[in-house]
Amino acid sequence: MLYREAGQFKTSYQKDQAIFPIRQDRIAVWALLLAVFIAVPLLADDYWLGSIITPLLVLSLAAIGLNILTGYAGQLSLGTAGFMAVGAFAAYNLNIRVPELPLIVDFLLAGVFAAMVGMVFGLPSLRIKGFYLAVATLAAQFFIEWVFTHVGWFTNYSSSGVISAPPMHILGMTIDTAVEKYLLTLSVVAVLALGAKNMVRSRIGRSWMAVRDKDISAEVIGVPLLSTKLSAFGISSFYCGVAGALWTYCYLGTVEPAAFDLNRSFQVLFMIIIGGVGSILGSFLGAGFIVLLPILLNNIAAMIGHGTLQADTMANLEHIIFGGLIIFFLIVEPHGLARLWQIAKEKLRLWPFPY
Amino acid sequence: MSDLNFFFEVLIGGLLSGVMYSLVALGFVLIYKASGVFNFAQGSMVLFAALTFVGIMEKGIPFWPALVVALVVMMVLAVGIERVVLRPLVNQPQISLFMATIGLSYLLEGLGQGLWGTQVRALDLGIEDMPNETIQTMLGIQVSTFDIFSAISAALLVGLLALFFNKTRVGLALRAVADDHQAALAVGIPLQHVWAIVWAAAGLVALVAGLLWGSRLGVQFSLSLVALKALPVLILGGFTSIAGAIVGGLIIGASEKLAEVYIGTFTGGAVAAVENWFPYMLALVFLLVRPQGLFGDKIIERV
């Protein structure tokens, strides 16, 4: 009843190609943006903003990056965290070595560096496919982690191998409270997510999907494989790189290379599986699910167990539940939460008269 | 002590530890051959098997019965995996199956450690991890007795599996399924049984690998990371070849130890941990020349 597009006519191509063709969707999106930009900073406390919502947003960005590569271009990658590390360390080094550059430019250049590294490791994708490629991306993961751990220059010869983000200044403002960091993260993520959404709807996104569905067929109909695969690796790594920079600057503040280990890659991979492979919205839903579930589990355990459950039992239980959920999702709904959302919307359009 | 002797020591040590990688890689190959599933959970199965075995031993059960019980547990697990995870996912893209096995590996890690505890256990097979004196006096090279023992067990296991694959009726069915699922079904081979058998065989390999690795590293979480060492072995040798797993293991084992010693000295001594990424790089470069690995089936694509 409320969610029906009857009477909304599309009279121009522009309207036909809008991201949200239905008016109710547009209203909902604006309301959501207002809520996250104004209501959330007012209502949430520092713990929620700093320790839950900000990392959630950053990981969503990384998930969008991986989704571009795996969900849209079909190249399975296990090196996400490695590319995030490149972004984090590039932003740090740019910041302390070229202090003249504004911070936002640092972030973007960090993404560009990550993109370059990503393209180098994407080169084998032209010859190697499927699982062989997945294992090859592990090479990126381990090599990058090793370089940042063992080459002192990247950590500015810090004795502990840890980098600490210097204070952030944008346009003369100092960004140090949880609210300010949240708003910075949110702005970057919102802009980049919009960019990703538009990219996957345009020519480049369609060629990614053509390559994903069958690369030889794509080549036959004239999609250039080299530039398509490399652009997927590059843009995906760009997103991961910016996410890595934000992870360092807006969330942790102090980062060691081990923060970007293989488990982080898997975490992001799980996000896109649960959220929806090949969906921008799914990246957010998956990140929300994976970040919030452990917190929820902890709270439930605290309620039931009153502290009788030990930390390692909890960790094991979390592992079991995670693993079980992944399998469950793959069996029951291979397209993830995003697909459920879509089904709900379809149902809502007919409600309450389904005939 | 001459440089040449040192080189040979590193080389032989590497070759023998490569055999241990082959053992883990073998589990991957078995499952990939028969069902086209890239089983990321193999490392967790190694951990789970070792934990189960040690857990049973701690209950006061002697070695051989404990081994049998652990084997039975692995077989039940194999049948369970086939029933609960694989059967509903038949006909899904390979990538979904792969991701399901990542989930499975989390599940197994949690389950194993939840059941048997997270502390590090010692596992003593009664073989010393010391330089073998006979070889030392004969050739002047230090080689660990334990390495030799594990190499022999691996060789035995591979021999057994080769016999099983090539000489028995079940093995014939396995090879048929590996060749073509649909054709195998059409001639009346029960796919589900075959898969259960293959996973059970992979469980057996995991158990052996778990015992050998467990007695070297202690039975603990890091056992499951051994699988990460086996991956470059796998792509170097080819996913579909048992011989590839062995040869790949030998190459990776030897080259990573040599790299650790000779490249590692350039970049900062013993802590350089070159061996974490060197095998991957080696495999990556190798793949550029032969995308299907050393002995893998040639990848033919139809559009």
pLDDT digits (tens, 9 = 90+) for A218-260: 999 999 999 999 999 999 999 999 999 999 998 888 888 888 9
Interface of B with A in 261-290 (CB under 8 A): 267-268, 272-274, 276-277, 280-281, 283-284, 287-288
- Asked if A131's CB is within 8 angstroms of B114's CB, the reply is no
Q: A150-157: long-range contacts (C-beta < 8 A, 24 or more apart)?
A: A150/B267, A150/B268, A150/B272, A150/B273, A154/A89, A154/A93, A155/A89, A156/A92, A156/A93, A156/A96
Which of B88, B84, B75 lies closest to B45 in space, CA to CA? B75
Candidate from A159-173, A199-213, B191-205, B260-274 with smallest mean pLDDT: B260-274
Residue A317, CA distances (Å) to A260, A301, A312, A314, B81 in order: 23, 10, 8, 5, 19
Q: Which helix (H) or strand (E) holds B86?
A: none
Q: Looking at residue B254, what is its pLDDT?
A: 86
Interface of B with A in 190-249 (CB under 8 A): 228, 231-232, 234-235, 239
Number of CB atoms found within 10 A of residue B88's CB: 14
Q: How far apart are alpha carbons B206 and B200 in whole angstroms? A: 9
Cβ atoms of residues A282 and A158 within 8 Å: no
Asked if B3 is an interface residue toward chain A (Cβ–Cβ < 8 A), one would say: no
Give the gap in angstroms from C-alpha A267 to the nearest C-alpha of chain B.
11
Residues of A in contact with B85 (CB under 8 A): 327, 331
- Asked if A131's CB is within 8 angstroms of B287's CB, the reply is no
- Asked if A320's CB is within 8 angstroms of B118's CB, the reply is no
Which residue in B221, B274, B287, B298 has the most chain A C-beta atoms within 10 A of its own C-beta, making it the best mutation to test that interface? B287
Domain count, chain B: 1
Mean pLDDT of all residues in B68-97: 85
Q: What is the rounded (10 degree) CA torsion for B73, B79, B85, B89?
A: 160
Q: Looking at residue B194, what is its pLDDT?
A: 85
Q: How far apart are alpha carbons A121 and A140 in whole angstroms? A: 6
Domain that holds residue B27: 20-224
Interface of A with B in 246-275 (CB under 8 A): 262, 266, 269-270, 273
Residues of B in contact with A127 (CB under 8 A): 287-288, 291
Note whether residue B35 is domain-resident: yes
Residues of A in contact with B110 (CB under 8 A): 315-323
Please provide residue B131's backbone torsions phi and psi, each rounded to the nearest 5 degrees: -60, 135
**DSSP character for B150?**
H
**Minimal Cα distance from A133: which residue of B?**
B284
**Preceding omega of A352 cis (within 30 degrees of 0):** yes
Give residue B54's pLDDT band: very low, low, confident or very high (50, 70, 90).
confident
Give the gap in angstroms from C-alpha A16 to the nearest C-alpha of chain B.
33
pLDDT digits (tens, 9 = 90+) for B209-242: 888 888 877 777 777 777 787 888 888 888 877 8
Note whether residue B264 is domain-resident: no
**Minimal Cα distance from A218: which residue of B?**
B303
How many C-alpha atoms does B113 have within 13 Å on its Cβ side?
Answer: 27
Asked if A134 is an interface residue toward chain B (Cβ–Cβ < 8 A), one would say: yes
Largest CA distance in chain A: 70
Which of A145, A175, A196 lies closest to A251 in space, CA to CA? A175
Asked if B92 is an interface residue toward chain A (Cβ–Cβ < 8 A), one would say: yes
Give the gap in angstroms from C-alpha A316 to the nearest C-alpha of chain B.
4
- Asked if B114's CB is within 8 angstroms of A313's CB, the reply is yes
Asked if A319 is an interface residue toward chain B (Cβ–Cβ < 8 A), one would say: yes
Cβ atoms of residues A275 and A60 within 8 Å: no
Residues of A in contact with B35 (CB under 8 A): none
Strands A163-164 and A168-170: unpaired
Cβ neighbors of A143 (< 8 A, separation 6 or more) are A82, B277, B280, B281
In which residue are the tokens 């079980």 written?
A324
Q: How far apart are alpha carbons A329 and A124 in whole angstroms? A: 31
- Asked if A319's CB is within 8 angstroms of B109's CB, the reply is yes
Note whether residue B199 is domain-resident: yes
Q: How far apart are alpha carbons A316 and B117 in whole angstroms? A: 9
Cβ neighbors of B37 (< 8 A, separation 6 or more) are B31, B86, B94, B97, B98, B101
Domain boundaries of chain A, sorted by first residue: 44-350
- Asked if B273's CB is within 8 angstroms of A135's CB, the reply is no
Give residue B269's pLDDT band: very low, low, confident or very high (50, 70, 90).
very low
**Minimal Cα distance from B276: which residue of A?**
A142
Task: Classify each residue of A128-139 as buried b or exposed e, where b means 16 or more C-beta atoms within 10 Å of its C-beta.
Answer: bbbbbbbbbbbb
pLDDT, one tens digit for every residue, chain A (355 residues)? 677 777 888 888 888 888 888 888 888 899 999 998 988 888 888 888 888 899 999 999 999 999 999 999 988 888 999 999 999 999 999 988 888 888 889 999 999 999 999 999 888 888 887 777 888 788 889 889 888 888 878 887 877 778 888 888 777 778 888 888 899 999 999 999 999 999 999 999 999 999 998 888 999 999 999 999 999 999 999 999 999 999 999 888 888 888 898 889 988 998 998 898 889 999 999 999 989 988 888 788 777 765 566 667 777 888 888 888 888 888 888 888 899 998 988 888 887 777 6
Q: Looking at residue B126, what is its pLDDT?
A: 64
Cβ atoms of residues A118 and A240 within 8 Å: yes
Nearest-5° angle of CA B223, CA B229, CA B232?
A: 155
Q: How far apart are alpha carbons A122 and A125 in whole angstroms? A: 5
Give residue B270's pLDDT band: very low, low, confident or very high (50, 70, 90).
very low
The tokens of B80 are what? 């369970």
Q: Phi-psi bin for B224: left (phi > 0), alpha (psi -120 to 50), beta? A: alpha
Q: Looking at residue A205, what is its pLDDT?
A: 94
How many C-alpha atoms does B3 have within 13 Å on its Cβ side?
Answer: 3
Cβ atoms of residues A128 and B291 within 8 Å: yes
Candidates A150, A220, A269; nearest CB to B267: A150
The listed CATH number (1.10.3210, 1.10.510, 3.30.70, 1.10.3470) that belongs to domain A44-350:
1.10.3470
Give the gap in angstroms from C-alpha B298 to the nearest C-alpha of chain A.
12
Cβ atoms of residues B257 and B17 within 8 Å: yes
**DSSP character for A173?**
E
Q: How far apart are alpha carbons A347 and A353 in whole angstroms? A: 10
**Minimal Cα distance from B269: which residue of A?**
A150
Note whether residue B242 is domain-resident: no
The tokens of A284 are what? 């957010």
Which of A85, A108, A92 lies closest to A153 in space, CA to CA? A92
B129 or A177, which is more confident? A177
Note whether residue B135 is domain-resident: yes
